[in-house]
Amino acid sequence: MGHPAILTVDDDPAVSRAIARDLRRRYGDQYRIVRASSASEALDALKELKLRGGRVAVILADYRMPQTNGIEFLEQAMDLFPNARRALLTAYADTDAAIQAINVVDVDHYLLKPWDPPEEKLYPVIDALLDAWQATGDREMEDIRVVGHRWSEPSYEIRDFLARNLVPYRWLGADESEGRRLLEAAGVGPESIPLVVTSDGRTFAQPSTTEVAEAVGLSTAPGRDFYDLIIVGGGPAGLGAAVYGASEGLKTLLVERRAVGGQAGQSSRIENYLGFPDGISGAQLTDRARRQAGKFSAEVLTTRDVTGLRQDGSARTLSFADGGEISAHSIVLATGVAYRPLVADGIAELTGSGVYYGSASTEGPSCAGTDVYIVGGANSAGQAALFFSRYARTVTLLVRGDSLEASMSYYLIQQLNKIDNIRVRTRCEVIGAQGDGHLQAITICDSKEGQSTTVECGYLFVFIGAEPRTDWLGTAVARDEKGFVYTGPDLLSNGTRPKGWDRERDPFYLECSVPGIFAAGDVRANSVKRVASAVGEGAMAVTLVHRYLEAQ
């Protein structure tokens, strides 16, 4: 099919020639550089590439162009080559507008003009975009097909699992003609949904996530029996520990029960993470971190549920739900937190059928023309409101407190205030949910007005509370009354070391009540609940692991 293309479009001839020249100098031997002087000319070029079976790796578009600006052009280009990486070329004066637009359209980066010298300001950005494109390739969405019902909780679980693990798939309703044909070809009926069909024709009726993971090539079994370091949990803290541990030569294994990225991986856009001034989606950040860990040979297991932890002499051993075990010199607990269940009539019965926990991005297109309600007032809820406002008729944030200021970042509040179809209702709680087979209405108690009302609602997304996933630890390590893990100074009571501590030193800062076991990120008592601090703690934990191992 020839070399994949890098397409650039700019209506300024001098700029257009300059960027094409710089791109050819660096990438001309591996990529075809296509230059266009207008959005319409660029779209014609993309259509011709599509018809000829060509591939497009990166699209660079000038932000300020007549008739069609760069954002509008990139939206249309996505329809032709959805997997191409996208960047804006913008002048300094347009930076704020470009960033605001990037928050609405999933653009990967923006480049300020001029980009001289290109070795510092252009090539590193293009290299990162090409790396990301090469990691996903230009596979069509039909690789994996999932047949199910829109309001089926098991169907939603499979779709969400694939999406969060960045596995391309095509969704087919069981009542659609193609969906019915696949069910018939597999020899099963609609009662056997969800049905997963792989690209090589294998079929899985009502599969577990482990079966799906193995079918799509995700790793579910460790490559060795013993490691230097095992990390439990694949959120920002776990990924940070995996990258630093593996890069420093430790035999490193990361174990994740569902999907790498944790709650941060579900975020539609993280804008206050250092080094990403135009923001980055949780999925993109997770993808980069996972590839970075793999670059240093860290192993990553998915769909493995850890159920126990014990000491075996100098080893630390984890038990899995399937009866298996794995041991290491040291353990980092990075299991994060889970959203607290919303206790209200009808919620449990409709979970997965209109009621969802976290930002279920797979439901975005299905929300078109509906009224979406979001429960919660923290950053995750605000980011979800911005995301779903692209699709829904209205998005309403239901906040228990008096305002958003106490729980949400200022920049998010400002963005919410600028979007017409987003409303914020304070001192409100959901006390009931109704629907026949799927969510159709919710009952809201408004303490300001002292009354309850029932409103139509197609989708309800819940972002409340933060419960640590630590029940499986039992009494293995000390925890507080809420289940968060005590570490370092918090373990010292009046200068006394924790019961059973067998070292002549105090616990290291992130070390638990058992030597060689560390905690990082949201699961740790008194931690700062931010992505940047979680990544930092993951890296710090590895430094302390080295100190622990050196003293063994």
**SS3 assignment for 235-282:** CHHHHHHHHHHHHCCCCEEEECCCCCCHHHHCCCCECCCCCCCCCECH
Asked, for residue 288, whether it belongs to a domain, the answer is yes
pLDDT at 1 over 60: no
Task: Give residue 164's pLDDT.
Answer: 86
Q: Out of 158, 190, 213, pick the residue that ends a domain.
A: 213
Using pLDDT thresholds of 50, 70 and 90, give the confidence band for residue 138.
low
pLDDT of residue 525: 94
**Same domain for 454 and 431?**
yes
Q: Above 70 in pLDDT, residue 490?
A: yes
* Pairwise CA distance, residues 91 & 88, whole Å: 10
Helix 282-295 to helix 123-136 angle (10° resolution) is: 90
* Domain-terminating residue out of 213, 242, 259: 213
Q: Are residues 58 and 111 in the same domain?
A: yes
pLDDT of residue 350: 95
E strand spans, 10-83: 32-36, 56-62
**Are 127 and 152 members of one domain?**
no
Q: Is the peptide bond before 341 cis (omega within 30 degrees of 0)?
A: no
Half-sphere exposure of 272 (CA within 13 A, CB side): 13
Q: What are phi and psi of 39, to 5 degrees?
A: -65, -40
Number of domains in the chain: 4
Residue linked to tokens 């694939």: 162
At 168 the pLDDT is: 80
* Same-domain status, 252 and 298: yes
Is residue 207 in a domain? yes
pLDDT over 80 (residue 360): no
Whole-number Å distance between alpha carbons of 143 and 442: 37
**Same-domain status, 377 and 518:** no
> Same domain for 242 and 132?
no
Return the pLDDT at 228: 97
More confident residue, 40 or 95: 40
Whether residue 391 is contained in a domain is answered as: yes
**Comparing 230 with 379, which gets the higher pLDDT?**
230
Give the structural domain span for 77.
5-136
Distance CA 256, CA 219 (A): 11
- Euclidean distance between CA atoms 189 and 26, whole angstroms: 54
- Residue 436 — very low, low, confident or very high, per pLDDT cuts 50/70/90? very high
Q: Is residue 206 part of a domain?
A: yes
The predicted pLDDT at position 140 comes to 46
Say what the pLDDT of residue 298 is. Answer: 96
pLDDT digits (tens, 9 = 90+) for 42-51: 999 998 888 7
| CATH code, 502 | 3.50.50.60
| Domain C-terminal end among 213, 247, 267 | 213
Average pLDDT over residues 129-153: 78
Instruction: Inform me whether the pLDDT recorded for 173 exceeds 50.
Output: yes
Q: How far are the Cα atoms of 8, 136, 292, 482, 514 from residue 131, in angstroms, in the given order?
A: 18, 9, 11, 42, 41
What is the reported pLDDT for 142? 46
Residues 247 and 296 in one domain: yes
Nearest to 333 by CA among 483, 231, 484, 469: 231
Average pLDDT over the chain reads: 89
Is 220 within the bounds of a domain? no
Residue 472 and residue 443 in one domain: no
Q: What is the pLDDT of residues 253-302, one digit of tens each?
A: 999 998 898 888 777 778 888 887 767 778 878 888 998 999 899 999 99
Q: Is residue 18 part of a domain?
A: yes
Q: How far apart are CA 237 and CA 17, in angstroms?
A: 44
List the CATH number of the domain containing 174: 3.40.30.10
What is the token pair recorded at 267?
Answer: 């975020």
**Residue 92, both tokens:** 């300094």
On whether the CB atoms of residues 388 and 461 are closer than 8 A, the answer is: yes
Is the Cβ–Cβ distance between 402 and 428 less than 8 Å?
no
pLDDT at site 103: 58
If asked whether residues 9 and 147 sit together in one domain, one would say no
- pLDDT recorded at residue 97: 58
Pair (238, 205) in one structural domain: no
Tens of pLDDT, residues 313-346: 999 999 999 999 999 999 999 999 988 999 999 9
Q: Furthest-apart CA pair in the chain: how many Å?
A: 74
Structure tokens at 13: 């001839």
Do 162 and 129 lie in a common domain?
no
Is residue 6 within 8 Å of residue 42, measured between CB atoms? no
Whole-angstrom distance, CA of residue 394 vs CA of residue 536: 37
205 and 288, same domain (yes or no): no
Q: Which helix (H) or strand (E) holds 330?
A: strand 325-333
504 by Cβ neighbours in 10 Å (0-12 / 13-18 / 19+) ranks as: exposed
Give the Cα separation of 232 and 238 in Å (integer). Answer: 7
Other CB atoms within 10 Å distance of the CB of residue 360: 22
100 pLDDT above the threshold of 60 = no
- The amino acid at 481: E
- Tell me the pLDDT band of 166, cut-offs 50, 70 and 90: confident
- The answer to the question of residue 218 being in a domain is no
